[in-house]
Amino acid sequence: MKRLHTGYAFIFLFLMIFTLQRVRAEELSIIQIKGSVWLKEQDKPAMRINKVSTISSGSYIKTGRDSEVVIKSRSSYYKLYAYSRVYIQSEPSLIYGKLSQSKARQFLDLRFFFTPQWVQGKTVKVVVRSGLHISKISATIYSESGYRNTLTFYALGNNTYRALTGFDIEAKPVKYYLQITADGVNAGVTQIRYPFYLQKAVYKSGKVFLPKQKEGLLKPSKQKEEETKALWKILSRASQEALWESSFIPPVSNPVVISGFGKRRIYYVDGLFTFIRFHRGIDFKGKRGDPVFSPNRGAVVFADRRITTGNTLVLDHGQGIFSLFFHMDSIDVKVAETVRKGEKIGTIGSTGIAAGSHLHWGLFINGVYVDPSDWQKRVF
Q: What is the pLDDT of residue 265?
A: 85
Q: Stretch 123-139: mean pLDDT, rounded?
A: 94
Contact 315, 299 (CB under 8 A): yes
Tell whether the model's pLDDT for residue 27 goes beyond 80: no
Q: Stretch 45-49: mean pLDDT, rounded?
A: 90
Q: What is the dihedral of CA 287, 289, 291, 294, to 10 degrees?
A: 100
Domain residue limits, the chain? 26-102, 110-197, 205-377
Tell whether the model's pLDDT for residue 53 goes beyond 50: yes
Q: What is the pLDDT of residue 178?
A: 98
Mean pLDDT of the chain: 90
Confidence category of residue 155, pLDDT binned at 50, 70, 90: very high
Q: What is the pLDDT of residue 18?
A: 37
Q: What is the pLDDT of residue 51?
A: 85
Sign of CA dihedral 343, 304, 308, 367: negative
Q: Stretch 305-333: mean pLDDT, rounded?
A: 97
* Weakest-pLDDT range from 99-108, 302-311, 336-345: 99-108
* Weakest-pLDDT range from 56-60, 149-153, 293-297, 371-375: 56-60
Q: What is the pLDDT of residue 14?
A: 41
Q: Which CATH superfamily is domain 110-197 in?
A: Macroglobulin (MG2) domain (2.60.40.1930)
Q: Stretch 6-34: mean pLDDT, rounded?
A: 55
Q: Stretch 70-97: mean pLDDT, rounded?
A: 93
CA angle at 76 for the pair 70 and 79, rounded to the nearest 5°: 25
Report the residue count for the chain.
380
Q: Stretch 127-132: mean pLDDT, rounded?
A: 92
Q: Stretch 286-294: mean pLDDT, rounded?
A: 97
Tell whether the model's pLDDT for residue 139 goes beyond 90: yes
Amino acid at 233: K
Q: Stretch 119-144: mean pLDDT, rounded?
A: 95
Q: pTM for the whole thing?
A: 0.86
CA distance 69 to 133: 23
Reported as a single tens digit per residue, the pLDDT across 331-366 is 999 999 999 999 999 999 999 989 899 999 999 999
Reported as a single tens digit per residue, the pLDDT across 175-197 is 999 999 999 877 899 999 999 99
Q: What is the pLDDT of residue 206?
A: 86
Confidence category of residue 156, pLDDT binned at 50, 70, 90: very high
Residues 6+ apart with CB under 8 A from 14: none
Tell whether the model's pLDDT for residue 70 goes beyond 90: yes
Q: What is the pLDDT of residue 134?
A: 92
Is the domain 205-377 a CATH 3.40.50.300 member? no
Confidence category of residue 131, pLDDT binned at 50, 70, 90: confident
